[in-house]
Structure 1
């Protein structure tokens, strides 16, 4: 199983961004990433500066979004939906997107659920609880 480093992730996003901006052919995963990058113009300066992105790895600032983490979560949720894992996530995200009128807005809510699941997993020293994650996404998709 491939586990990219933080630098690998930044190189991937910055590289895909550069290729997309230059109109160069993109691999399918790069195309998906580039589509999410286009929805986040606030990240374009950082995505356009690989050297700065690599330097900033040591400068974690909890007061600001990490564009690479944010975009990685978009990709993770997209992949979860494409393979429907955990089973039912595709339908739950589609329902939430319909309810919010935007897949992008739905992804941002799902990110909160995904982040909570991962944080709780780390705190408890256990595997991530996919059932609790799915239940939270479903709750948001059906709540009044």
Structure 2
């Protein structure tokens, strides 16, 4: 299982964004990351700051961790590409129709995924794929 460090994840997004701007070849995963980053212009300056790798983003300060946000987006895109958990692709398609916008729908999926990961950590258990899928389906109406 791939288990990158915080710095490796942050460097991955920063390097992908830099490579995009330098017109360098991107891997499939970097291309997916760049597509996600492109949807978040509010993160562009941070991704161009070499000191961002060490920066702390505290929810107690009301800050969203942009690297976590991008990572969750990337995880969702991977889930959709293989329909894992089974049915996620259809549930997201329904949610997208309900919201009328793919990115808005994905942010709702991101909330469900974040809740699923939080519950797994809190309960010291694996993520509950069925609960995650049900959360997405509920949001799709």
Q: TM-score, with normalisation over the residues of structure 2?
A: 0.95
- Give distance in 2, aligned partners of 1:61 and 1:139: 29
Q: 1:60 aligns with which of 57, 60, 64?
A: 57
Question: Distance between the aligned counterparts of 1:80 and 1:2, measured in 2?
Answer: 15
Question: Aligned residue for 2:23?
Answer: 23
State the partner residue of 1:40.
40
The answer to whether residue 9 in structure 2 is matched with residue 12 in structure 1 is no
In structure 1, distance between residues paired with 2:121 and 2:27: 33
Gaps in structure 2 of 5+ consecutive residues: none
In the alignment, which residue of structure 1 is the partner of 2:70? 71
Q: Deviations over 1:63-92 (max 9, x none)?
A: 111111001011100000100000000110
d(CA) in 1 for partners of 2:32 and 2:54? 26
Alignment: residue pair count? 139
Matching residue of 2:114 = 115
**2:39 & 2:105 partners in 1: Cα distance?**
13
> Which residue is equivalent to 2:128?
129
**TM-score after normalising by structure 1:** 0.93
